[in-house]
Amino acid sequence: MTPMVKADRVCKNFGALEVLKGVSLEIDPGQVLCLVGPSGSGKSTFLRCINHLEQVNAGRLYVDGDLVGYSEKNGKLYELHPRAAAKQRRDIGMVFQHFNLFPHRTALENIIEAPTQVKRVSKKKAVERAKDLLDQVGLSAKANAYPAQLSGGQQQRVAIARALAMDPKLMLFDEPTSALDPELVGEVLTVMKQLAKEGMTMVVVTHEMGFAREVADQLVFMDGGVVVEAGEPRELLANPQHDRTKAFLSKLL
């Protein structure tokens, strides 16, 4: 089986600052991988590298067997034309910490924007699909509401529906609940759990250890730009092997 995501010694630096120092991991289709670790450990940067929002400085990243952001000839990498990179990105949905919805568009309009503009889906089809997705995330009554009229949890659920409207084969979540009030976290996690149940491949940067324990197939602890420890979530949370993992989890659990 071709891994949905394969990272092979991925390095990324911003000037002199090394953010990723040789990250290697694999995620199979239909799996959920949760990335945890302290702020500044490289989790979000790694996520952004997966869909080439950030360029890697060394190593290789593959999504569904395709090299991300580059073509390779005779062992040399050549960066893809921005249009080709954008085409790759269509198959990868991303949900950000701060929703990133268009404030001047309704929930429905936010969802149909990419399918109609990027994939040239007819407006009629896009609207039908958007209504189905709003129903899926429990917001069918909010189709005509603007982001300012929605709670944070509702905005994040619209953002998830917007990402799903492109029919991605992979979903990336960058701390999707960290900007929410505690009582709104559950409604977003419920949608994500349902997606996992339906077999969506997901990479989730999160501090929600209950979600990781219940839903993830793999838990990866990162610190200082490296994978410190990885394993089955319940086992890793109950019995971490590395002192750094123990110290981190002791503050969370």
Query: Which residues sit opposite 72 in a β-bridge?
Result: 77
- When pLDDT is averaged across residues 208-229 and rounded to a whole number, the result is 95
- Look at residue 58 and give its three-state secondary structure: strand
Assign 27 a pLDDT band (cuts: 50, 70, 90). Answer: very high
Q: Which helix (H) or strand (E) holds 158?
A: helix 152-164
- The C-alpha atoms of residue 22 and residue 60 are separated, in whole angstroms, by 10
- The C-alpha atoms of residue 105 and residue 123 are separated, in whole angstroms, by 15
pLDDT at 253 over 80: no
Asked if the 5-250 domain carries CATH number 3.40.50.300, the reply is yes
- When pLDDT is averaged across residues 111-136 and rounded to a whole number, the result is 95
pLDDT at 252 over 90: no
- When pLDDT is averaged across residues 57-68 and rounded to a whole number, the result is 94
Predicted pLDDT of residue 183: 87
State pLDDT tens for residues 160-213: 999 999 999 999 999 999 989 888 899 999 999 999 999 999 999 999 999 999
**Ramachandran bin of 108, using left for φ above 0, alpha for ψ from -120 to 50, beta for the remaining angles:** alpha
Assign 72 a pLDDT band (cuts: 50, 70, 90). Answer: confident
Exposure string for 48-68, b = 16+ CB within 10 A, e = fewer? bbbbbebebeebbbbbbeeeb
Predicted pLDDT of residue 251: 87
When the pLDDT of each residue in the chain is averaged and rounded to a whole number, the result is 94
Neighbours of 113 (CB within 10 A): 17
